[in-house]
Structures are given as structure tokens and as C-alpha cells.
A and B are shown apart, each in its own frame.
Chain A
Amino acid sequence: MHDLIQRPLPGAQKRRAERASGRETLAALAPLGGLIALSIAFVLIGSARGINMAYSVETLVNQSVIIVIIATGAIFIFAMGSFDISLGASTLVAAMVGGLTYNATESLWAMLLACVATAVTASLISAALAAIFDLPVFVTTVAMLSVLGAVAVALVQTTGGAQIRVDSAFARSYDTLTVKFVVAAVFIVLCVFLFSVTRLGRVEKLIGGNPVTARLTGIPMKKTALAAFAIAGLGVGLGAFLTVLRTPTLTTSTAGDIGMNVLVAMVFGGMPISGGPRTRIYAALVGGLSMAVLNQTMTTLLASTSAGNGIAQVVRAVFFLAVVWVATSGHRGRLLPR
């Protein structure tokens, strides 16, 4: 018969447990440590090179806020072990619909509503198709990627050219740090609340960790997926809204790198790509800021070098691998990586 009374761990076993706990802590803090290390490097290098630090910090926010918002919403999808490859295309189409709406109505709120409605609709179509045909969500988002690309071309052709131009004076007047902070803060607080306080976050982590168990415990899988995609769509819509304000000249290549950047930001922030219980809602914030700081530091360091752009990309890749390696060290080699 098992002894149910908890006994003190023997010395060696205790040390092993402490080491394991230490590795877990190190792994959990690695992305944040990376951000802090990058920020220190940025300040040191920037000061040594005499860069305009105020403008640089402003640039960091400008260049990371859209990624952070979209990635924070997308965490709800990735937490379930799902994968959305159409985030960039969805952002583009939502931004174009928003731009056309503004041109027709000259209303900021109508533009915001159009961006959000378009993105949420596109996101829900992916989830609904997956539910109806019982397909992996990744497959339906691949299909949506093609469809959204075609929609973007069709939208831009309504102008008779290759661009959708929104009044730049209007865009400039709202492309401010205050607007960005408010939009980002409201959305991130909402996401943190939903993910960390409500049942939704716990359910999503359970689905990501073990979908069979989740199903057997009676969790409504399709409803949860729809909720996750709706929140991700909201993030994409807000990101598209800020995209129009930041770049009022929209072409089919606008937001082209957002999908990949969102993915990199999440992983950089310590998000396990397989989702599950290790999912952290702040991963997008940490990862998005880390990417922006790294980019800015590399630009400062290598701006005058003829091969600067190439070197910067290699350094980014190495740093990315290092952070992810440390972040996964706590659970690498286990039978159940989730």
C-alpha cells in the first residue's frame, strides 16, 4: 500500500527537483531576459553612436505596436495548438476595406468598424469552415490566404489603379502615440482578462495541451475555436485600422510581412508553437518589443556598413535561435513536450 503521507525528499532527489525548477524558471524568464538584454544593448550602442534616443524609442513603438496587437489576439488561436497563416492577408483586406470605407464616408469610426468587421468575418469564416468540414484550422486558413489575396487584388482594382489612397492629412492626425497606446492598451487588457481570468483561457490551454482529454471532459471545442478566432479577428481589425493610419497608401504588398512577424514575435516572446499550458498571453508583447529593439539596434550598429542589411538579418536569426533555445530548455527532451 502506498504511503500517502508526504515525506521529505532525499538529498539527491531534492537537488534534482531544485535544478529542474531552476531550469523551468530560467526558461520562463529567457524571453524577458532577452528583451532586457536587448534594451540595454540598444541604449549602450545608441548612446555610443549618438542616436536620437527619443525618436528611436518612438520608432520602437511605431514599428512594434501593430505586430503586438495582432500577435496578442492570435495567441488565442495558437494556445489551442492551431495555426493561422492568413493573418497578414486578413490585415491587408481589412485595411483596404477600411480605407475604401473612409474614402466613401470620411468617418474615422466607420473606418474602424469596417476594419474590425472585415477581419472578424474573415477569421470566423476560417473557423466555421474548419468546424463544418471537420478540417484542421490550418488548412482552412491556407485556403483563406488565397481567397483574401484575390479579394485584395479585386479591391485595389476598384480604384482603377494599384493603390488605395486615404487622405494623408487625416491619417497623420490620428497616427499618434496616444491613439496607438489607447488601442493597444484596451485590447491587451481585454485579452489578458479573457485569457487569465475567465474560463476561456484555461479551456484553450487544455485543448492545446491535450485535445482528446479536452473533448472527453465535455469542452465545447467548436464554440471555443469560434471565440478564439473572433478575438484574433478583433486584433487583426485593430491592427488593420492602425495600418491605414500609419500607411495611408495601400497596395497589395501592404502588410505582406505581418504574418511571419507575428509568428516570430510570439516565439521570441516564449510562446510554444504547439500551444498548451505553457502559453503566456504576454508573449506577443515581449516578443514584439524584442524584435523592434533588435531591429533598431542592428540598424544603428550596421547602418554605415555596405553589407549591413545582410549581417543584421543573420544576427537576428542567431539571437532568435538563442532565445528560443533557452526558452525551451526547461522542457526539451520530455516525452510530453506540452
Chain B
Amino acid sequence: MKITRSTTLAALAALGLTLGTAACSSGTAAENDTAAAGTGGETVKMCVLVSDATSSEALGFKDYYTQYIQQNFDVEFVYSEELADADAEKRAMESFIANNCRAIISFASADRPAQIEMAESAGIYYSVATGTLTDEQYEMFKDYQYYVGAIGPSLDVELQAGYDMAKHFVDEGDTRFAIYGAGIPYYIDMHIYRTAGMLAALAEDPSTTYGGAKEFGDILGVIMRDGTIKVDQFASDVYELTGYQEVWDFDDSAWQANLAAVVSSKPDVILAAGTGFAVFGAAVSGTDIAIGDIDAYTDENAKAMEAGSLSYLAGKFTSSTGPIFAATLSAVQGHPIRGEGDTALALEQGYWVATSIDQFNEFLAADTIESPVYDQAALEPFIGTDVSYDDFAAFVSKYSFDELAG
């Protein structure tokens, strides 16, 4: 074998990196332990994982953090790029840890257990925004020192949101439904629970079943087993399930064809487990098909409701991510808010429901980037002081429009 200069240098470079890694790796945990203790009045670098960087909901959450929170608290937000899968999440987590983020707030859920494990190993506080863990996951991670917790709609709230939405249209006399299940095939729990809630509402009619099931728990079991919704599993003398769509594969021709088929089946309503108008808005334009959606209070949804395409919205408000920020910052500052038995937070936060444009506009106006309902004055009492779990839980539980802005 001919040993050239470049071969030698390549070997030396590789050896150098290898030795560097070996020499440095033992210091990681200790350095992070030091980093986790107190902020000393410095700006706290908080990193945010996002799986969606372009929807109006995602942009609203980002604006609240980067424009309002960053202006009013001593923090700096660093956002990931749009994370498509678990590997992208892992790479982003690695970059955040390497760049000395003091805390990570996650809006990405492809592999939450992996994120929590990485944050715990690195000694970096980690929290889940706009969602919750499953009971099984919570049991697994609730004792982790650096897992701050999750504040968002619990799975029971998701179930109720789906149920209430379907019930609303049933009460209005609609009988032909299509369903958009969004992330069901990815086993995104919130979408599964919302859809199970919708089907449970329809199954209150004596002749209606899904997969032979009538009760919510049984319907949930059928969806979990199949990993999708099967139109032929729906049986009813009163209602008709005219079509079903899922996932977000906009570029796929088969997906587009199925979307067109769902619209062509002429349902009265498309019940969406999320991002309903973003997916179906253009397709239902000029038809009598209404969309019921569980999404967020955004300008885009306001226009849809004004145009009549969106007739029901159970939505997150833009500053709903304020309390989890407060809990996370407080933890970084050495005052973690922990539940009974030193456990992580698992607090519920529900939706604001609008069924008219007037109601929608009222909600939208009450919570803006310039003047959010969770403003500095509301959050400050829970940051950097020893707040009890009960006080914080009581604060989070008052999330309704009437309690916050009414």
C-alpha cells in the first residue's frame, strides 16, 4: 500500500478527532451540572424544537416567544429548523446541547421519550408545549430531575374536544360526515383521541357503531389496532361516513386523489382532527361543505370562518404556551415547580371554542402578540420564586376565555 502525505494526514486527523472525543466525553456531565445551577442574571438561552415551522399556528407561537417573551424576560430563544422525523429531532437536540442551551421547549413529538432521555443525560431542563405525555410515558419520566413537565390539552381534553365538535354538528342536523384524521397513522395520540371522540359522539345514536364498537374506549382500541380509520367499519342507519383522509403528504398524487374523492363525496361537514382548513380549505371553496376543526386562533382561520368554510373551531390561543415557559424558566433559575413526590408537571389546558366569526374575532382580539392574555404581569409571579404546585396548577387551570380575558 502506498502511503502518501494525504493518507498520513487523513489518518492523523481521524486519530485526533478520536482522541479528542475520548478525552472530552468524560467531562460532559460535570460541565452540564455546573451549567444547570443558576443563571447569575445572564440571558437564559432557551431552545425550541418545532416539527412545523410554517403554519400560522406555529408562527403565532413563535412570535409570542421571540417578540413578546424575549422582550419582557431575560431570555433568548433559539429555534430549530422544521424537524421531519425522529432523527432530525435527535440532531437538533444534539446541536442544542452542544450550544449550551439551558432549557429545551418541545413542539416536536416524533420521539418524545428520546428527547427527554437526551435532556436528562445532558442535565438540561426539558418541557413539552401544547401537549401532554401518555399516562405510560408520564409514569416513566415523571421522576426525572430535568423533565419540567407538560402543559396542554390532556388526552381527556382531546377526547372531549372531538366529541363536542361532532356533537355540535349532530345537534345542527347534519348527517353526512367525512373525517380528516391528520396524524393517526403516526400514532399521534391527540389526533387519535380527538377522532375517537368524534366517532363516540356519532355512536350515541343506537344504530351507529365503529368497528362494532359503541363506547369511546372500544372505539379507541379499534383505531389503535388499525392505525387508521376505515370507512367500511362505520355502520349507521342515521349517519354516513362519506370519506376519510389522513397525514400531510401533500406532494403525493394518491393523497391528492383521495382528498378530491373526500370532497366529491359531498359530506355536510368535514370533521378535522387538526389543520383542517389548511388541508381542505382550497378544496371546499365554493361548496356547501363546512369544516369543523381543532386547531388555533390564527388570521388564516379567521378568514376561513369569515368566508363560511370554517364553521367550528376549538382552538389554542397564541399565548397558551406562556405557563410552560414560566415553569421552565423558573426551573433554570433554580426554582422548579414540582408535584407531589417531586414529580414533573402534567397540567391540563383546554381550548377556546368559536362557532361564529364574531366570537372568533373576540377571542383573536383578546390575545395578541402585543397584548397577550399570559403577559409579563401574569407570568412573573411564577418565575424565580418558590411557588407551590397547587398555586401554579390553579393558575394554569383558569384557561377559559371568560377567566383570562372575559
Contact = CB atoms under 8 A, between A and B. Distances in A.
B91 A63 contact: yes
Given A159-B227, A161-B227, A181-B18, A247 B94 contact: no
B28 A52 contact: yes
8 closest cross-chain pairs (CB), A and B: A54-B24, A161-B227, A162-B185, A160-B227, A249-B86, A56-B98, A247-B87, A59-B94
Contact of A304 (B24, B78, B110, B247): B78
Nearest to B4: A28
A251 B186 contact: yes
Nearest to B5: A29
Kindly name the residue among B84, B99, B122, B186 whose own CB sees the greatest number of chain A CB atoms within 10 A.
Answer: B99
A23 interface: no
B27 A60 contact: no
A20 interface: no
A192 B86 CA distance: 33
Interface in A148-199: 159-163, 168, 172, 177, 181, 192, 196-197
Interface string B27-66: 1100110000000000000000000000000000000001
A53 B111 CA distance: 26
Given A162-B185, A197-B1, A300 B99 contact: yes
A291 to B, nearest CB: 13
B87 A254 contact: yes
> Secondary structure of the A side of the interface?
helix
A322 B227 CA distance: 48
Contacts, number: 146
Contacts of B76: 304
B17 A289 contact: yes
Nearest to B121: A172
Contacts of A162: 185-187, 227, 247
B358 interface: no
Interface of A: 25, 28-29, 32, 35-36, 39, 49-63, 159-163, 168, 172, 177, 181, 192, 196-197, 243, 246-251, 253-256, 280, 282, 285-286, 289, 296, 299-300, 303-304, 306, 309
A251 B98 contact: no
B98 A160 contact: no
24 contacts: A32-B9, A36-B9, A39-B17, A52-B28, A56-B98, A57-B24, A160-B226, A162-B187, A162-B227, A177-B25, A248-B86, A254-B87, A255-B87, A280-B6, A282-B6, A285-B10, A286-B13, A289-B17, A296-B98, A299-B95, A300-B98, A303-B99, A304-B78, A309-B81
Interface residues of B, number: 52
A290 to B, nearest CB: 10
Contact of B27 (A39, A54, A196, A246): A54
B100 A52 contact: yes
A160 B85 CA distance: 18
B14 to A, nearest CB: 6
A168 B114 contact: yes
B176 interface: no
A168 B113 contact: yes
A296 to B, nearest CB: 7
Given A168-B111, A247-B114, 18 more contacts: A28-B6, A29-B5, A29-B6, A35-B13, A52-B28, A54-B24, A54-B28, A161-B186, A181-B18, A247-B87, A253-B84, A254-B86, A256-B85, A282-B6, A282-B10, A286-B10, A296-B98, A303-B99
